[in-house]
Structure 1
């Protein structure tokens, strides 16, 4: 696990969670809830997606290359947004 990829996935997951919450106002969590759910989903889900898809496995010898940064941002954002959507949907369904 590369710590810089994990940080990128946490940040992009938080952004993805907030974007998903803004898109679905009726089933979204609070802004803080979307951020936390997105960051957790981005970190955990991004690592799982990267391992399953084989994305960004190694960094360049001089540091991170652009491909690993983009793949970490994409996997973190997508999994963070999906996590916030699922948790918001479940919260809404369990409240009724």
Structure 2
């Protein structure tokens, strides 16, 4: 359970980030399902990448999960993973939207 919760936080954060970008920048919108799926993938990938950067590894917690001292989950690490997932999901959705837009013009 301790490994599943951080992954779910990253997936949800990424999906939300993807949909926020799709709503803010209409030219980058790839549809609700596309925004959610690409954002969720970006949430997982971005949090994994952020964990490899010195200085950010403490913010996002351990890659496999952030266990607290009493066997519970570290809420600070989960918040960091959610925020990282939100941003990286938005970024990957924006990239996918740019690619879709440029292909539609060609």
TM-score by length of 2: 0.82
Q: CA RMSD in A?
A: 1.6
Partner residue, 2:10: 9
* Structure 1: runs of 5 or more not aligned: none
3-state SS in 2 of match to 1:26: helix
Superimposed CA distance per residue, residues 7-36 of structure 1 (whole angstroms, 9 cap, x where no aligned partner): 100011000000000011122111111001
* Correspondent of 1:60 among 65, 68, 73: 68
The superposition leaves residues 15-73 of structure 1 with CA deviations (integer Å, 9 ceiling, x where unpaired) of 00000000111221111110010011111111211232213134212311221111110
Counterparts of 1:74 and 1:27, CA distance in 2 = 21
Q: Distance in 2 between matches of 1:8 and 1:89?
A: 26
Separation in 1, partners of 2:28, 2:94? 8
| Contact 2:28 2:93 (C-alpha < 8 Å) held by counterparts | no
State whether residues 38 and 92 of structure 2, in contact with CA within 8 Å, keep that contact through their aligned partners in structure 1: yes
Matched residue, 1:31? 32
Q: Which runs of 5+ in 2 are unaligned?
A: none
Find the structure with the greater CA-based Rg.
2
Distance, in Å, in 1 between the alignment partners of 2:101 and 2:87 is 21
